[in-house]
């Protein structure tokens, strides 16, 4: 797995609301996504771009800052992409909404040519889910795939009160495709704004499945989301011991490593590296 931005808790804020955006940027979220799409009325798209430009340029670099642009099918997408290119290294990634095909990502990749800006694919249509394997392998710039429950649920006719368990087939399809491509799988936002039992269950569910993190739409949810996707101290210590045992075996020229009477294989090593990556450790 490539070295990617930690995305345990990703806070989404409207790019047209300076107060909410600044509050997000001052939060403890691993990443802030400034939204130019759903959160911005058509008449305010240009003003929102100007505000996002200033906020990203003035950000202190203490956390990742990304921008969700408008869908490629809209008249605003090209101006959004031009804005992102102009921000250069100050911007972590572009979130591409309603990603449905590898061609969508190729278009964004070409627009971002010459920059180190990453891309995240927001998959929120049945076609996008159907093409998830092609999407995750489309471009090397792709860092993560995110499930967009609101639009996807509406398209599927799924109840807004559906439990996380009702999404298992789609969650697994996205997770498997992401892991096969070596990128992150990020759970989309819970549709409520409270840090309540329902939200915590949602975060715990996808964390247990193996997702890397979750989008949140209210600062009150950041701490719970980050906690859900942060390994325990015991898990981190066990992971360090696995990596140390493997390193010691390699240094000694041994073909196999053991720890606590158990043989260590590559699957155990992969799991240990993932745990350490989740806490920002080597």
Q: How many residues does the chain have?
A: 282
H or E element, residue 39: none
What's the rounded Cα separation, in Å, for the pair 271 and 262?
A: 15
CA-based max dimension of the chain? 66
Is 151 annotated for ligand binding? Answer: yes
Q: Say how many C-beta atoms besides its own lie within 10 A of residue 161's C-beta.
A: 8
**β partners of residue 120:** 95, 144
Is position 68 annotated in a ligand binding site? yes
To which H or E segment does residue 165 belong?
A: none
Angstrom CA distances, 96 to 33, 35, 36, 108, 143, stand at 11, 11, 11, 8, 12
> What is d(CA 236, CA 248) in angstroms, rounded to the nearest whole number?
18
3-state secondary structure of 133: helix
124 marked ligand binding residue: yes
* Side-chain half-sphere CA neighbours of 121 within 13 A: 36
Binding-site residues for Mg(2+) sit at 124, 151
What residue numbers does the annotated binding site for substrate cover? Answer: 68, 124
Binding residues: 68, 124, 151
């Amino acid at each position: 797995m490539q070295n990617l931005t930690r995305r345990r808790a990703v806070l989404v804020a409207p790019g047209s609301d300076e107060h909410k955006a600044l509050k997000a940027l001052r939060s403890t979220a691993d990443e802030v996504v400034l939204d130019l799409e759903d959160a911005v009325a058509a008449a305010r798209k240009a003003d929102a771009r100007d505000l996002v430009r200033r906020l990203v340029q003035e950000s202190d670099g203490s956390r990742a800052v990304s921008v969700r642009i408008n869908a490629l099918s809209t008249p605003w997408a090209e101006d959004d992409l031009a804005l992102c290119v102009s921000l250069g290294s100050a911007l972590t990634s572009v979130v591409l909404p309603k990603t449905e095909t590898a061609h969508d990502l190729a278009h964004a990749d070409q627009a971002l040519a010459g920059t180190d800006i990453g891309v995240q694919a927001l998959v929120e249509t049945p076609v996008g889910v159907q093409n998830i394997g092609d999407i995750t392998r489309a471009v090397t710039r792709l860092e993560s795939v995110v499930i967009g429950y609101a639009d996807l649920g509406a398209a599927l006719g799924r109840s807004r009160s559906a439990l996380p368990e009702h999404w298992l087939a789609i969650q697994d399809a996205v997770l498997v495709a992401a892991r096969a491509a070596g990128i992150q799988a990020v759970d989309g936002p819970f549709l409520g704004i409270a840090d309540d039992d329902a939200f915590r269950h949602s975060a715990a569910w996808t964390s247990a499945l193996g997702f890397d993190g979750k989008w949140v739409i209210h600062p009150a949810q950041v701490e719970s989301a980050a906690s859900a996707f942060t390994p325990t101290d015991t898990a981190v210590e066990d992971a360090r011991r696995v990596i140390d045992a493997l390193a010691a075996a390699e240094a000694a020229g041994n073909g196999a490593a053991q720890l606590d009477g158990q043989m260590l294989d590559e699957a155990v090593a992969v799991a240990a590296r993932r745990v350490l990556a989740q806490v920002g450790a080597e």
